[in-house]
């Protein structure tokens, strides 16, 4: 009996539930077994794993977050932690795994894959009676789905959750604009995104922000003068308020944290204006998923199962160029598979470039 496990890990994002739903329903539709792994890698290690049925995933696409729970788990970073996790999988004959999470979670999945055969040999050598010898040497098939509001995975044009987060950011800033106009105030607003400026930049365009600070930019020495000139120019054109957006991962030239409070004080040193700071915080991650995130989750979940259970012309599990570990990505409007290895290499390269300020503007 083929079994597929599905889990969410790392930061939650709206639309993950749609992906879980599609994985479960497509697996069951093919008459295979599906397991819900609860609370991320922590639940995989401790065996918080339940068999899913058709109604386990009813009425969930409209709910944000992950209904099976997610977590950050340091134990999984160790070989022993991954061995405990693999043992739970071997005992259930669960050799197909869908991991929905950010680049950290996908890196964890890759480590499990790297250790899988060695762990298997050790488990059989230890003589665990729950293991079926027929499964000795069985490979792990792995598919990753990028669920992250940050949209920071270079190989997919969209990750699940970023559209909902942007929707929430725009809605919140629209609300701030109304009060800002009445009092002619300047609002400096911090948005999420970690080291990636996608949320800051794209929301900035959508809400007609006057200035956006994003982590990939290199700050000029005279940034504060330039900012205030820009604010004064638009005020002269009749604008009664200003919106400045700042991505959470912004740093100054010395690599020090650069936040809304600092921007506020620099403006106040140069202009007579009322400045307020707002951090949108976890509101950006919560709430109802947008249509796009629901659809993306469903498409990615369905394609994850299709990829996991792909067979060759003789009906045997397909072992192609992907090394049995791939990521479901969106390119334009099309779903594509990429090898997990390649995706993680590119993410690492991109992160390095950001760290060393080597990004094309
Ligand atoms: P995200 O998946 O949202 O990027 P994290 O970076 O916090 O979130 O990663 C989520 C979890 O994935 C970690 O708590 C850990 O259990 C696992 N993980 C991340 N990096 C590694 C790694 N290098 N080796 C093993 N597990 C990892």
For 284-313, what is the mean pLDDT? 94
Answer for the pair 318, 312: CB distance below 8 angstroms, yes or no: yes
* pLDDT for the residue 221: 86
Is a pLDDT exceeding 60 seen at residue 310? yes
Known active-site residue 352:
no
Is a pLDDT exceeding 90 seen at residue 119? yes
Dihedral angle computed from the Cα positions of residues 231, 235, 236 and 239, in that order, rounded to the nearest 10 degrees = 140
Q: How far is the CA of 103 from the centre of ligand 1 (A)?
A: 7
- Cβ neighbours for 337, distance < 8 A, ≥ 6 positions apart: 303, 307, 322, 326, 327, 328, 329
Which residue out of 71, 73, 76 has the highest number of ligand 1 atoms within 8 Å of its CB and is therefore the one to mutate?
76
Answer for the pair 135, 93: CB distance below 8 angstroms, yes or no: yes
For 119-137, what is the mean pLDDT? 87
* pLDDT for the residue 177: 95
CA-closest candidate to residue 208, choices 165, 244, 261: 244
Atom of ligand 1 nearest to the CA of 11: 3
Is a pLDDT exceeding 70 seen at residue 356? no
Dihedral angle computed from the Cα positions of residues 175, 150, 254 and 356, in that order, rounded to the nearest 10 degrees = -150
Tokens of 153: 């995975």
Residues with CB under 6 A from ligand 1: 9-11, 41, 72-73, 76-77, 101-105, 107-108, 111, 148
Count Cβ atoms below 10 Å from residue 127 Cβ, excluding itself: 7
- Least confident stretch, 24-28, 170-174, 320-324, 349-353: 320-324
* pLDDT for the residue 357: 61
**Residue 360 vs residue 147, higher pLDDT:** 147
| Residue 320 banded pLDDT, cuts 50, 70, 90 | low
Is a pLDDT exceeding 90 seen at residue 241? yes
How does DSSP assign 85-127, residue by residue?
HHHHHHHTT--EEEEEE-HHHHHHHHHHHHHHHHHHHHHHHTT
Q: For residue 36, give Cα distances in angstroms to 116, 184, 223, 247, 285.
A: 20, 52, 50, 34, 22
Mean pLDDT of the chain: 93
Atom of ligand 1 nearest to the CA of 76: 16
Q: How many C-alpha atoms does 272 have within 13 Å on its Cβ side?
A: 0
Find residue 188's DSSP bridge partners. 244, 277
- Least confident stretch, 139-148, 216-225, 228-237, 281-290: 216-225
Whole-model pTM?
0.94
Dihedral angle computed from the Cα positions of residues 99, 117, 46 and 56, in that order, rounded to the nearest 10 degrees = 40
- Cβ neighbours for 327, distance < 8 A, ≥ 6 positions apart: 106, 143, 144, 145, 146, 153, 155, 156, 337, 338, 339, 340, 343
Which residue out of 45, 46, 72, 192 has the highest number of ligand 1 atoms within 8 Å of its CB and is therefore the one to mutate?
72
Is a pLDDT exceeding 50 seen at residue 361? no
Start-to-end CA distance of the chain, whole Å, equals: 52
For 79-86, what is the mean pLDDT? 98
| Residue 354 banded pLDDT, cuts 50, 70, 90 | low
Is a pLDDT exceeding 80 seen at residue 326? yes
Catalytic hit among 150, 152, 163, 210: 150
**Residue 349 vs residue 33, higher pLDDT:** 33
| Residue 131 banded pLDDT, cuts 50, 70, 90 | confident
**Residue 353 vs residue 188, higher pLDDT:** 188
**For residue range 172-217, what is the model confidence (pLDDT) as tens digits?**
999 999 999 999 999 999 999 999 999 999 999 999 999 999 999 9
For 85-91, what is the mean pLDDT? 96
Is a pLDDT exceeding 60 seen at residue 20? yes
């Amino acid at each position: 009996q083929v079994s597929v496990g599905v889990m969410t890990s790392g930061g939650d994002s709206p639309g993950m539930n749609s992906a879980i739903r599609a994985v479960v329903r497509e697996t069951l539709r093919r008459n295979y077994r599906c397991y819900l792994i609860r609370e991320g890698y922590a639940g995989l290690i401790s065996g918080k794993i339940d068999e899913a049925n058709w109604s386990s995933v009813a009425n969930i696409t409209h709910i944000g977050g992950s209904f099976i729970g997610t977590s950050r788990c340091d134990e999984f970073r160790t070989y022993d932690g991954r061995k405990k996790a693999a043992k739970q999988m071997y005992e259930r004959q669960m050799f197909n795994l869908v991991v929905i999470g950010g680049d950290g979670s996908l890196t964890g999945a890759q480590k499990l894959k790297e250790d899988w055969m060695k762990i298997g040999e050790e488990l059989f050598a230890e003589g665990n009676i729950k293991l079926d010898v027929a499964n000795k040497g069985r490979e792990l098939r792995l598919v990753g789905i990028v669920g992250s509001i940050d949209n920071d995975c270079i190989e997919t044009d969209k990750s699940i959750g970023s559209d909902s987060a942007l929707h929430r950011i725009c809605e919140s800033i629209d609300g701030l604009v109304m009060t800002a106009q009445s009092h002619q105030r300047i609002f400096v607003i911090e948005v999420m995104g970690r080291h990636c400026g996608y949320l800051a930049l794209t929301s900035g365009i959508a809400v007609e922000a006057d200035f956006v600070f994003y982590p990939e930019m290199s700050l000029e020495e005279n940034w504060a003068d330039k900012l205030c000139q820009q604010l004064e120019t638009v005020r002269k054109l009749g604008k009664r308020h200003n919106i400045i957006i700042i991505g959470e991962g912004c740093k100054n030239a010395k690599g020090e944290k650069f936040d809304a409070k600092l921007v506020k004080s620099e403006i106040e040193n140069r202009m007579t204006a009322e400045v307020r700071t707002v951090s949108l915080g976890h509101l950006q991650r919560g709430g109802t998923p947008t249509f796009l995130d629901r659809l993306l989750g469903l498409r990615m979940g369905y394609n994850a199962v299709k990829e996991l259970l792909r067979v060759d012309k003789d009906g045997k599990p397909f072992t192609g160029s992907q090394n049995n570990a791939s990521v479901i990505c969106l390119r334009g409007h099309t779903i594509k598979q990429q090898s997990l290895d390649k995706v993680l290499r590119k993410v690492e390269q991109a992160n390095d470039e950001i760290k060393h300020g080597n990004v094309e503007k």
